[in-house]
């Protein structure tokens, strides 16, 4: 990816390399609007925009846009992440790029081959500007949690002494 300085400051310029042939790259596939709150895991394809409150895990191969009014906390692994406003407290890993624009407030670890932080962004955390490790580049289907298995039986513990109340 080319350096971002000297280019148009429009946050819509980063596109994920895995975009589908018939998919328009700037079309929003899903939106979590202002006043909406969600906790859990989000797996997506295409472009997703968050303007509400989200807490949990986000996985996708395409573009995640975090907009004004958003409050996002958790763990993010996507194709590209664009933060145009709001507050983010998360580990953000992106396969292509991470872009932070003012007036965003971002706390956490950033890891991507290309990272852009605009003047006026409040950032507190670490940056690693390098390709993701193979373990980090799993597709969203592979990143799904494995089926749970029952824990092995444990030896019985001794019974508490009788007579205590």
Summarised one tens digit per residue, pLDDT across range 98-109 is 999 999 999 999
* pLDDT tier, 1 (very low <50, low <70, confident <90, very high otherwise): very low
Q: How far is CA 70 from the centre of its chain?
A: 13
Mean pLDDT over 16-38 rounds to: 68
Summarised one tens digit per residue, pLDDT across range 104-141 is 999 999 999 999 999 999 999 999 999 998 766 654 44
Residue percentage of the chain with pLDDT more than 70 = 65
Q: How far apart are CA 58 and CA 78, in angstroms?
A: 8
Domain boundaries, given as residue ranges, for the chain: 30-124
Q: How many CB atoms lie within 10 A of CB 61?
A: 22
pTM above 0.75, yes or no: no
Model confidence at 165: pLDDT above 90:
no
Give the CA angle between residues 64, 13, 61 to the nearest 5°. 35
* pLDDT tier, 31 (very low <50, low <70, confident <90, very high otherwise): confident
Nearest one of 112, 68, 139, 57 to 90, comparing CA atoms:
57
Percent of residues in the chain assigned helix, strand, coil, to nearest 5: 0, 45, 50
């Amino acid at each position: 990816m080319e350096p971002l300085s000297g280019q148009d400051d429009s946050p819509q310029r980063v596109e994920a390399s895995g975009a589908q042939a018939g998919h328009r790259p700037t079309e929003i596939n899903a939106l979590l609007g202002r006043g909406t709150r969600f906790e859990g895991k989000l797996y997506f394809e295409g472009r997703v925009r968050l303007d509400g409150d989200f807490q949990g895990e986000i996985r996708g191969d395409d573009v995640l846009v975090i907009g004004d009014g958003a409050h996002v906390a958790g763990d993010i692994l996507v194709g590209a992440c664009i933060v145009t406003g709001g507050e983010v407290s998360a580990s953000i890993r992106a396969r292509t790029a991470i872009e932070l624009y003012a007036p965003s407030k971002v706390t956490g670890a950033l890891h991507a081959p290309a990272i852009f932080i605009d003047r006026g962004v409040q950032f507190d955390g670490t940056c690693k500007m390098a390709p993701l490790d193979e373990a980090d580049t799993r597709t969203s289907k592979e990143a799904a949690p494995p089926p749970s298995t029952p824990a092995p039986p444990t030896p019985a513990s001794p019974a508490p002494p009788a007579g205590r109340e």
